[in-house]
Amino acid sequence: MTLSVTIITKNEAAMIARCLESVAWAGEIIVLDSDSGDGTAEIARRFNAKVTVTTDWPGFGPQKNHALALATGDWVLSLDADEWITPELRAEIERTLAAPDGHAAFKMPRLSSYCGRFMRHSGWWPDHVTRLFRRGQARFSDDMVHERLNVDGSVGVLREPLRHEAIRDLDEALVKMNAYSTAGAMMQLKRGKNTSLAGAVAHGVWTFFRTYVLRAGFLDGREGFMLAVSNAEGAYYRYLKLMLLAEQKK
């Protein structure tokens, strides 16, 4: 079975080399770059990736489907630039593709880091993500953020975790929180959702409680508290932006 790896990028020069090095064994590497200005595409070409540069940004789901359309392998492994495959996960993927047992796709646990700490609680572990699938039997949703993979067939489970450097520092946390809250608010507006100031506050408070208490974020030390606050702020601003967008629409 041949394997294609697909990666979408935008100014990922600090991350992309580790990701590409971890999948250099794959039969084909597709990088769909959104006109990066930091040399991301040039780095990808050094790893013999097939690089396509586009100025269009339709959102994460449509962009991943665009990259998927460029793949030619029997199987596809979809990665983000801040993710990488360990030798143990590579070995498990190779064994799995040799005998897929009729599954159309496979999900795997993802171990993510926040400000330098791999999070074992806070709702971040085991965080199963479906990323390995037969080409032609799966497609990403058209969501701008938090896209999901829709699979036509059964989904198996891998044991070895995918590694993910989700948030490097607080500056990145703030940038992502602003971008994702805006995109999330726009998605909800399109679905006819609305809220109030009280609703935005309530969502923020609930998100902190769920992350830090119900999902045992307190066991992740100071980073667990930092993440709970960050999640709460993201939820608060997402619903606050939704409220203001709905008012503008009226």
Q: How far is CA 111 from CA 7, 49, 65, 223, in A?
A: 18, 25, 24, 15
Nearest partner of 7 among 56, 59, 71, judged by Cα: 71
For the chain, which residues make up each domain, given as ranges?
Answer: 3-166, 169-249
Q: How far is CA 156 from CA 61, 94, 112, 153, in A?
A: 22, 14, 21, 10
Q: CA-to-CA distance for 112 and 164, rounded, in angstroms?
A: 4
Query: Following DSSP, what letter does each residue of 5-39 receive, concatenated?
Result: EEEEESS-TTTHHHHHHHTTTSSEEEEEE---SSS
79 HSE (CA, 13 A, CB side): 29
pTM, full prediction: 0.93
Q: CA-to-CA distance for 96 and 150, rounded, in angstroms?
A: 20
CATH number for region 3-166: 3.90.550.10
Q: How far apart are the first and last CA of the chain?
A: 54
Instruction: Specify whether the CB–CB gap between 147 and 80 falls below 8 A.
Output: no
Give, for all 250 residues of the chain, the pLDDT tens digit.
899 999 999 999 999 999 999 999 999 999 999 999 999 999 999 999 999 999 989 999 999 999 999 999 999 999 999 999 999 999 999 999 999 999 999 999 999 999 999 999 999 999 999 999 999 999 999 998 899 999 999 999 999 999 999 999 999 999 999 999 999 999 999 999 999 999 999 999 999 999 999 999 999 999 999 999 999 999 999 999 999 999 999 8
**Beta bridge pairs of residue 8:** 32, 80
| Single-letter amino acid, residue 111 | L
